[in-house]
Structure 1
Amino acid sequence: MKRQTIYFLFLLLMSTSSFAQNLVNEIQQEKRTLLALIKKAEKKGIDVTKEKSTIRTAEICERFADWDEKNIKKNEQLFKRLKTYKQNALEVAEELPNFEREEIVLMLQDAQHTLELALKGKVVKQPIEKIDWSKVKLEGSDALYNGKPVFLADYTWKPKVDFLTEYHGNLDGIFVTTKYLLDEKGTLKPNFKKEIIEKPSGRVGTVFLNHLNPPKWFTEKYPEASVGSRRYFDYDIDHPATRALQQSLLKSIVPTFKDKKYSSIGYMLVNEPHWHTKEKSWDTGEVSSYTFAKFRKYLEEKHKSIAQLNVIWNTSFESFDSVKIQVPMSGDLRGSAVWYDWMRFNQLRGTEWFQFLSDEIHKYDPKANTHIKVMPHLFSENARDHGIDLEALTEVTTVIGNDAGAVYSDMWGKKEPEWSSKYYFDWKQLCIGYDFMKSVSPDKLVFNSEGHFISTIRFRDLKMKPEYARATYWLATMLGLDVMQTWFWPRDVDGSLRKESKGYAASLTQMPRVINEITLTYLDMNANAEALTKIQKLRKPVRIFHSETSAINKPTHMEDVYHTYEQFLFEGIAVGFATKNILNKQPHHLWDVVVIENTPFVTKEERNALQEYLDQGGTIVMDNKSILKNEYGESIDVLTQSKGQLIKFNTAENIQKKVLSIVKKDDIQIHETNMLSHKGCIWRYFENEEKLKIVSIVNVGKSEAKLDVLLNGIDQSVELTDVITGNKIENGFTMKSLDVYLLKVGTIQKKGL
C-alpha cells in the first residue's frame, strides 16, 4: 500500500511538472505569435504600444511564476494568514505558478486578437505616447507631458529598474524620518546627508515624511512625548518638543529638496493620519496633558464663561482649568454637548498640526507642494472620533492626497452591506471622497499615494476579474484622479519576495491579467487624456450641503449623505458638495442648486452661510428635517427665501425630481434599463470643438444594462462611435457589469430630409 501511494504521488508530481512545462512552452509560443503580429503592424504604421506592454508584463510575471514554483512552502505560510485561503493554503500555493502562467497565456491571446482585428481594419488603434517621467510638469490640477495632460500610475515598493519602469510606472521620491537627526540642532546623519546632496533631480516624485521611530536621543529626553501616539505616528502632536523636532528636520532638508523633480508632487505630511478617541474604536487611545490644556483653552474661547459651559454641558465646573473629561470617550455620549465640543476640537487640533508642518515647509520653499495620505473612508463613513476634517485638510495642502480604495468582498465575513444588492463593488469612499475633495479644491492635482482598488488587508481575491481593475481606475480618473501609486509591488526583479507582508497573499503580483489591465487602462486613458481631463473639470451643478456638525452629532449621518448623493450620481451630471466655506469662498455660479437632506444640526455660521446664499439669489431644495438646531441641539432661526428660491419637499423622490428639473438641459440623455431597481451606469460628458458629445460610462451595477442615447430637441438620429476602437455602436447597446466605454456621440440626418 505504501509503495502504491508513493507511486501515485510520483505520477502526480510528474503530471504536474509536465503540465507546468507545457504552459511554459505555450507562453513562449504565444509571445512569438504576438511579436510576429507586432512586426506586421509596425510595418503598416499601426500603434503597438499596448501589445509591447503586454509582452513586458508577461516577461515580468513569468519570473513571478518561476519563483512561486520554487517557493510553495513559503507561499503556503503566507496564504494561511488569510481567512479565505487558510483551510486550503497548500493547494492554493501549489496551483499558484500554473494559475499565473494560464493568466499570461490568456492575456497574450487577447493581445493577439486585438492586433489581428487592427490588421484586418476592423478596429483603429489610437496613437499612444510613452511618458518620460523626468519631463512631466505639474500645473494646477494637471500633470503635463509635452504640454498635454497625462495620468500617471506606479506601484508602492516597485524596484526602479528599466525592466519594471518602461511600461509600469517610474515615480521618484525620497523617504525622510526624524531618526536621521543626530541632535536638536538638526544635524543630519552623514550617510543621509550625502544621499540627498548627491541625489539627482530625477523624475516627478514625492517626499515621504515618516513619523515613526523618533531618534533615541529624543525619546530619552522627552519620554512623555509618546503619550497620545497612534499607528504611523509615534509622538504627541501637542507636545512642544515634537514641533521643535519637526522644525529641525524640515529646516535641514527642505532647502536641499527645493526645485528637485523628485519632490515635485510634494511632501506627504503624514501617512494615514488619525487620532481616534472613542472607546472601542480602531487604534483609539489616550491623549496628553498638553492636549487637555489646549482643549480647556479652546472651551474658554468658544464659551467665554465657565457658567455658559456648565449650562450647555449640564455640569458644575468651577473654572476652565478644572474641566475634566474621559478619553477615550464613551460612544453613548454621541449627540451630547461634551461629545460635540471634544470631537470638533480633536479635528481642529489635527488641522492645526498639518498647517504647522505646511508652514514650516513653505518657510524654506514657498512653492513646495504638500499633500496628506488621508483615508477618505474617514469622511464617507459615520464615525467622527478620528480627528480628521477632510475639508480643512484639503484646503491646507496644495495637492489633494489620499489613499482611496474600493472593494467587492470582505474576508472578515461581516454581514452583507447594502450596496452589494445593487452594485458590483463599493464605490462610496472613492466617489464621495473625490467629488467632495474636488468640490473643496477644484484646481488641485489629485494624488492617490496608496491606492487600494486591488487589495487591502481585508479585501483580496486571487481570481479577480481584470474588468474590475479597468472599471475602478477609469471611474476614479473620471472623478479627478491624476497620479496613482497602487498598493503594492513587494517582489524583486527576479520574482522573489522583497518584503514579507501580511498583505501579500492573493494580491497584485500574483495576478498577471490584473497588472496587464491596469497598464492597458492607463495607456487608453492617456491616449484620451484631454477628453478625460475635461470630464474631470466639469462644472458641478448639483451641490449636496455637508455639515460636519451633523456628522459629529448624528450616528448615521454619512449614510444619509450617501443616499442623497446616490440619487444624483447616475444621472449624467457632475455631483459636488457645498459647505459653509464653499458657499462663502467660491462663486455661486459654479452650481445651480444646493440640496439639503437629513441635516438637522448646523452651527450658526453654517446656517448664516446658507441664508446669505439665498439672500444673493441662490436656490435650495431641502426637506423638513434639516437646519433645525445648533451644535448643542438648541433651536435656531429657520431659513427664509429672500431673493432666492427655498423649495421644500417631504420625500427624497420629490427632491430628486425637482433638482433634476432645475439642472437638466435639453441636450443629451441616456436611458438605462437593467434587471435591478436601481441604475448602475455612471456617466459624464462634454461637448468638443466639433460639437460632438464625448461620453464616458462605467457600469458599476451588478447586472448588464441596455443604454439608449437621446439627443433632445434635435430631429436627427444618434451615431455612436467607440473612441478607443473607432467602431460604430448601434444605439440601444448593452454594457455588461464592469464595462467601460468612451463614446463619441454625433448625429445622422434622417433620410428624406
Structure 2
Amino acid sequence: MNNSKQIAPLALALIALGCNACGGSSGSSDSSGPVVEQPTPDPTPDPTPDPTPEPEPELTLVEQAEANIATLEALMADAELEQIDTTREQTVIWFAKEFLKFAEWDENNPDTVAGLFGIYGPFRDQKDHYAAMLPDFQRQQVVDILDDGIAQLTQVLEGSVERRAVTKVDWQNISVADDMFVSNGKPVFLYDYFSKAQGNPTNDPDLYNDHLGNMDSMPSISLSWSDRGDSIWQGKVNEVNSKEDSKVGYALLWNTNVPQWMRDREPEIATGRSLFTGFDIDNPLVQTTWRNIVREFGELSRGKHAIKAGVILSNEPHWFSEQGHWTQNYQEMNDISSYTLNGFRDWLKDKYQDNIAQLNDNWDSQFNGFSEVTIDIPISLAKRGQPIWYDWCRYNMDRGIAWFKMLQDELLAANPEADTHIKIMPDLFTENSRSHGIDLEALTVLTTMIGDDAKARGRDLRSTSPEEWEAHYSYFWEELAVSYDFMESVAPNKIHVNSEGHFLSTSWYRDLGMSPAYVRNTFWLATIMGMDASMSWFWARDPDGSPEDRLEGDLNFADPALAGSYAASTAMQPQVANAVTQVMMDMNSFSEEIMALRQQKRPIRLFYSETSAINKNNHMTEQFELYESLFFEGFPMGYATQNVIDSQDNSDWDVIVVYRTEYVTDAEFAALQRYLNNGGTIIVDNSSSLAKNEYGQTRASSLVAAAGELITMAESADFNDVASRALELLANSNADDTVLLNEANGTGHKGCHWRVVKQADGSYLMTVINIGSSTATLSTAMKTGANALSTNLLTGEELGAEFELPSNGVLLLAVNPQQQ
C-alpha cells in the first residue's frame, strides 16, 4: 500500500478546526496545523500586564457540525483531484444537513414531538424528556457521522485504507433477471423506505435520491377503485395514466378499505375479516370486484417501470382463528361467513372422498352429511393435534392460496410481464401457531418474486428480563435467518423483496442509541441470505422536517401501530439513516462477490412438514434447535419439503435430515422414500419421526434404504448428535482444498455466520458476520492444514491468518492459501 500520499494544507487546517470543535484546545500550537506568520513582538514589555484573557466560548453542536462539514468538503475536494470516489461522503453530508434541519424543527415544535412520543407506550411517561433531548441528540449524531467520515476519508487519502468506488444504482434503468435486479450490467441491491412521507410526489428530490433510496410507488389499489360496475373509476384510470414513470417501483393492493355500497349489498362482507384484510375473501362480491380491478390495473400498468419491483398482492395477510390469540382483540376472525363454511364443507367432502362416516370417526361427531358440518371459529387451542384442528388449519391455508392465485391470475392475464409478491410476516412461519391461514411454501412458489417483511431486533420493550437469545447473540436473528433460508430453498431462482423491512424498528423494539454496526450487520446478513430489495419501515418526515401528514390531526388509523411508529424511528437517528445507505453502497460495490457467496449449494437440508407444524405445539421451536446448531458451520442452510424433493435437482444437497417430525402425510412420506430409491441420504433422529399421518394415526410402513443410505439415530439422540452426524457426512464429501474458519470467543458458543467460495484464480472469497454477543478471534486455514492468509476487501488491510471481529462486525475477505 502507498502511505506517502499527502493531504492538502487547507484540508489539514480544517481538520484542526474540526478537532477544536470536538473539544480540542483552541490555543494549541500543534505543529500539524497551518503555519501562520506572526507579528514581531515588541521588545519593551508593557509594565502593566494584561488581565487574564477570557476563554474562547465552546462551539455549539451546530457550529461543530458546520465546521466538520467544511472539513469534510475540503477533504472531498482533495480526493476528487486524485480521482478518489467520494460518493460515501456526499451521503454523509446530505444526512448531516437534513438532520440539522430536522433538529431545528423539533426544537421549535416541542409539543408536537412530545405528543408523538406519547402515543408510543414505552415512551409515554417520559414524552417531554424525549422531546427536549431530541434536537441535541440528533445534532450530536450529526457531529459523530461527520467525524467518522473525516477519519475514513483521511485514511483513504493517506493510503492506509483502499476502498472500491461506489457502484451507484441507476434507478431509471433497472432490469429484472430471474434472481436479481440488474443495473449497468451488474447485480444491484435496491433500498428505500416503505410508506415514505405520504402526500409528497415520488419525484421530490428531498425524499427520492441516492441517499434515502429512489424507488417509485404506484397509488395504492383498493376496492374503492371500483365504479360499482365492471371497471374502475375514470379518475383512477387518469391517475395511473398520468403517473410519472421513469424509475423502478412497486404497487400495492390495499385490502383494508370496503366501500359502503359493498357493505350495503353484502351484509356478511366483513365476517371473517382480519386487520389488513377488511373483508371475507370467500365473498363472491369481493372476488368479482377485485377481479375486475386487478385485471384493469394489469392492462393500465403494462410496460411501466413503476411496477418493476413487483405488485404486492397483500399487506401482511393473516387469518388467525384460534381462541385467545392477540388478534381476537381486534375482532379478527371472530366468526366465519356462510361462504367460508360452505367452502370448508366442500373441501372436507373432497378430502374425505364423500365419506361422512370417516369424518365422524376422525372428529368424534355425528353429522348426517357434509352439508351439516359446523365448526366453532375461533377454534379452541385444546383441539390442536386433533383431526378437526388439522382439517380447519389446512383448509384455512388452502383458501388463502386460492385467493392469491385468483388475484395473480387476473393480473397476469392482463399483464403477463408483471411480477408479484406478498408482504408475508415471516414470524407466521418461524413461530409455532398455524391457525393463521398462511402456507409460506405454497405462496412463495406461487408468486413470481419472494416477498416478506422480515424483522430483526434487540430486546422486546415489553420484556422485564433478558430474553433467551441474549445469552449468546447481539440481536434476535431467528426470524430473519430461518424464514430466508426456507424461502430461498423452495424458490432458489427468484428475486427476493422485503417490502417493509423491520431491522430498524418493530412494534415493540426501538433503540434511540442504535449502533451503526448493528445496522450494517443486519442488512449484510439479510442480503447474503437472499434479499435483493428492501424498503425499510419507515421515513415519516416531510422535507421541512415536520412529521408527515398522517401523523398530524386525530391519528385515527386502521393500523394500530402506525402513529406509534414515529417515536425513536430512523428519521430521528442520523447514525442509523447514514449506516443504512453506507452498507447498501458497500454491498452494491461488491454485488458480484455477494451473489457468488449466496448462490451456493445448500448441502444439508432440514425436512420441513407443514403437517407436523400444524399438529404440534412446539414444532418450530424444536426445529430451530437443529437449525441453530448448523448455522455457523460455513455453508448456507437449506430445507427440503415434498415439493422441493419432487421439483428440484436432488444433487443440490448431500443429505436430508428429519428431526422431531412425527406427523407427515402419505404424500410427504412417499417423497422421502422416492429420494432414497434414487440414491439419496437421509438421517432420521429416531423412530418417532414420520410415524404418524396428518390425523395422528400410526403409519404401517417405515422408510427403507433402497438404493440410498438411511441413518436412524439412537432413540436418545438430541439435536447436537444429529448435527454432528450430518457434519461428518459433509466433511467426508468436501474436497481437501476447502478453507476452514475457526472461531474462539470465550463463550463456547459460536456466533459467526460465514460462507466461502473458491475463485477462478485459486483464492477464496469469504464473508464473516458476527451476530454473537462477544468479540471473536478468527483464524483461517486450509482443510489440509496449510496456512491461509486473509485480506479485508472493504479496506485493503492485510489481516493474516488470525484476526479479531467485534460483536456486530462484518468482513468480506480474500483468502489466499499458502504453500506448505
| 1:190 Cα offset (Å) | 3.4
Please name the residue that 2:363 is paired with.
313
User: Which residue is equivalent to 2:593?
Assistant: 531
Distance in 1 of aligned mates of 2:644 and 2:812: 32
Q: Distance in 2 between the 1:19 and 1:301 partners?
A: 83
Q: Hey, what does 2:724 align to over in structure 1?
A: 657
- Which residue identity does 1:326 align to in structure 2? D
Equivalent in the alignment of 2:78: 40
Residues of 2 paired with 1:19 and 1:562: CA distance? 58
- The aligned amino acid for 1:747 is P
Correspondence 1:546 to 2:626 = no
What secondary structure is seen at the aligned counterpart in 1 of 2:192? strand
User: CA 1:645–1:80 in structure 2 vs 1: closer, same or farther (change >3 Å)?
Assistant: same
TM-score (structure 1 length as normaliser): 0.95
Partner AA of 1:56 in structure 2 = W
The CA distance in 2 between the partners of 1:619 and 1:215, in whole Å, is: 56
Q: Partner of 1:645 in structure 2?
A: 709
2:753 aligned partner: 682
| CA–CA distance in structure 2, aligned partners of residues 217 and 183 of structure 1 | 10
- CA distance in 1 between partners of 2:226 and 2:706 (Å): 63
Instruction: Look up the SS of the partner of 1:733 in the other structure.
Output: strand
- The aligned residue for residue 743 of structure 1 is 813
Deviations 1:579-623 (A, max 9, x none): 010011111011110011111000010111001111111001121
Q: Which has the larger radius of gyration?
A: 2
User: 1:690-713: per-residue Cα shift (whole Å, max 9, x none)?
Assistant: 121111111001111111111122
Which residue of the other structure, out of 606, 617, 628, is the alignment partner of 2:691?
A: 628
Residues 223 and 255 in structure 2, CA contact (< 8 A), matched pair in contact too: no
Higher mean Cα deviation, 178-187 or 421-430?
178-187
Instruction: Report the CA distance shift for 1:20/1:613 in structure 2 as closer, same or farther (over 3 A).
Output: farther
Q: Output the CA distance in 2 between the equivalents of 1:561 and 1:88.
A: 41
Give SS of 2:769's match.
strand
SS of the residue corresponding to residue 109 of structure 1 reads helix
* Corresponding position of 2:139: 101
Task: Name the Cα RMSD after superposition.
Answer: 1.6
CA contact (8 A) 1:180 1:192 kept: no
- Separation (CA, whole Å) in 2 of partners of 1:72 and 1:114: 35
The residue that corresponds to 1:465 in the other structure is 515
Alignment of 1:285-296 (within 5 A): 285=333, 286-296=335-345
Contact 1:83 1:412 in 2 (8 A): no
Q: Distance in 1 between matches of 2:709 and 2:226?
A: 63
Equivalent residue in structure 1 for 2:778, among 707, 712, 721: 707
Answer yes or no: is 1:583 the counterpart of 2:654: no
Structure 1 position 57 matched with structure 2 position 84:
no
**More divergent stretch after superposition (124-133 vs 480-489):** 124-133
2-side partners of 1:566 and 1:187: how far apart? 51
Q: Secondary structure at the match of 2:394?
A: helix
How far the C-alpha of 1:180 sits from its partner, in A, is: 4.1
Mapped contact 1:379–1:433 kept (Cα < 8 A): yes
Q: Is residue 435 of structure 2 the alignment partner of residue 385 of structure 1?
A: yes
Structure 1 position 300 matched with structure 2 position 349: yes
1:237 aligns with 2:304: no
Which residue of structure 1 aligns with residue 485 of structure 2? 435
- Residue number in structure 2 paired with 1:224: 268
The one-letter code sitting in structure 2 at the alignment partner of 1:386 is H
| 8 Å contact kept, 1:276–1:282 | no
Q: Structure 1 residue 154 and structure 2 residue 192: aligned?
A: yes
In structure 1, distance between residues paired with 2:71 and 2:468 = 47
SS of the aligned residue for 1:77 comes to helix
Deviation at 1:645, TM superposition (A): 0.6
- Conservation of the 8 A alpha-carbon contact between 2:120 and 2:565: no
1:725 paired with 2:792, answer: no
1:365-384 correspondence runs (5 A): 365-384=415-434
Task: Specify the code of the residue in structure 2 equivalent to 1:126.
Answer: R
Which residue does 1:486 correspond to in 2? Answer: 536
Indicate yes or no: 2:214 matched with 1:170.
yes
CA distance in 1, matches of 2:313, 2:406: 10
SS of the aligned residue for 2:218 comes to strand
Among candidates 339, 359, 374, match of residue 409 of structure 2: 359
Give the letter aligned to residue 648 of structure 2. Answer: Q
Query: 8 Å contact 1:708–1:732 — kept in the other structure?
Result: yes
Q: Which residue of 2 aligns with 1:11?
A: none
Q: How does 1:6-85 map to 2 (within 5 A)?
A: 22-85=60-123
Structure 2 counterpart of 1:12: none
Distance (Å, rounded) in 2 between the aligned partners of 1:263 and 1:438: 22
Q: Give the CA deviation at 1:80.
A: 2.4
Cα deviation, residue 78, structure 1: 2.1
- CA pair 38-347 structure 1, distance change in 2 beyond 3 A: same
Aligned counterpart for 2:584 among listed residues 518, 522, 546 = 522
Aligned to 2:20: none
Partner of 2:385: 335
Higher mean displacement: 127-136 or 105-114 = 127-136
- Give the length in aligned residue pairs: 732
Partner of 1:134: 172
Per-residue deviation, residues 384-425 of structure 1 (Å, max 9, x unmatched): 110000000001100101000111111122654321211111
Q: C-alpha separation between the residues in 2 aligned to 1:200 and 1:95?
A: 40
2:225 and 2:236 in contact (8 A); partners too: no
Q: TM-score, normalised by structure 2?
A: 0.87
For the 8 Å contact 1:618–1:645, the answer to whether it is kept is yes
Name structure 2 gaps, 5 residues minimum: 1-55, 552-562
Partner of 2:554: none
For residues 20 and 621 of structure 1, the distance between their equivalents in structure 2, rounded to whole angstroms, comes to 68
Whole-Å separation in 2 of the counterparts to 1:88 and 1:646: 61
Distance verdict in 2 for CA 1:616–1:197, change over 3 Å: same
Stretch of structure 1 that moved more, 186-195 or 279-288: 186-195
Q: CA deviation at 1:74?
A: 1.6
Q: Distance in 2 between the 1:618 and 1:358 partners?
A: 36
Distance 1:214 1:21 in 2: 56
The more displaced of 378-387 and 412-421 is 412-421
- Alignment-derived partner of residue 130 in structure 2: 92
1:565 aligned counterpart, secondary structure = helix
* 176-185 or 398-407: bigger deviation: 176-185
* Counterpart among 202, 207, 210 of residue 251 in structure 2: 207
Once the two structures are TM-superposed, the CA of residue 731 in structure 1 deviates from its matched residue by: 2.3
**Segment drifting more, 298-307 vs 79-88:** 79-88
**Whole-angstrom distance in 1 between the partners of 2:415 and 2:58:** 56
Kindly indicate whether residue 734 of structure 2 is the aligned counterpart of residue 734 of structure 1.
Answer: no
State the Cα deviation string for residues 10-55 of structure 1 (Å, max 9, x = none). Answer: xxxxxxxx99971111110000000000000111111111111111
Deviates more, 1:202-211 or 1:646-655: 646-655
Deviations 1:224-247 (A, max 9, x none): 211111111111111111110111
Which region of structure 1 is more displaced relative to structure 2, 303-312 or 470-479?
303-312
Contact 2:194/2:539 (CA < 8 Å) preserved in 1?
A: yes
| Shift of residue 183, structure 1, vs aligned partner | 2.8
Question: Partners in 1 of 2:413 and 2:122 — Cα distance?
Answer: 50
Percent identity among equivalent residues?
37
The offset of 1:179, in angstroms, is: 4.3
Change (3 A) 1:533 1:749: same
Preserved CA contact (<8 Å) 1:46 1:125: no
AA aligned to 2:570 is L
User: Contact between 1:273 and 1:374, CA under 8 Å: does it hold in 2?
Assistant: yes
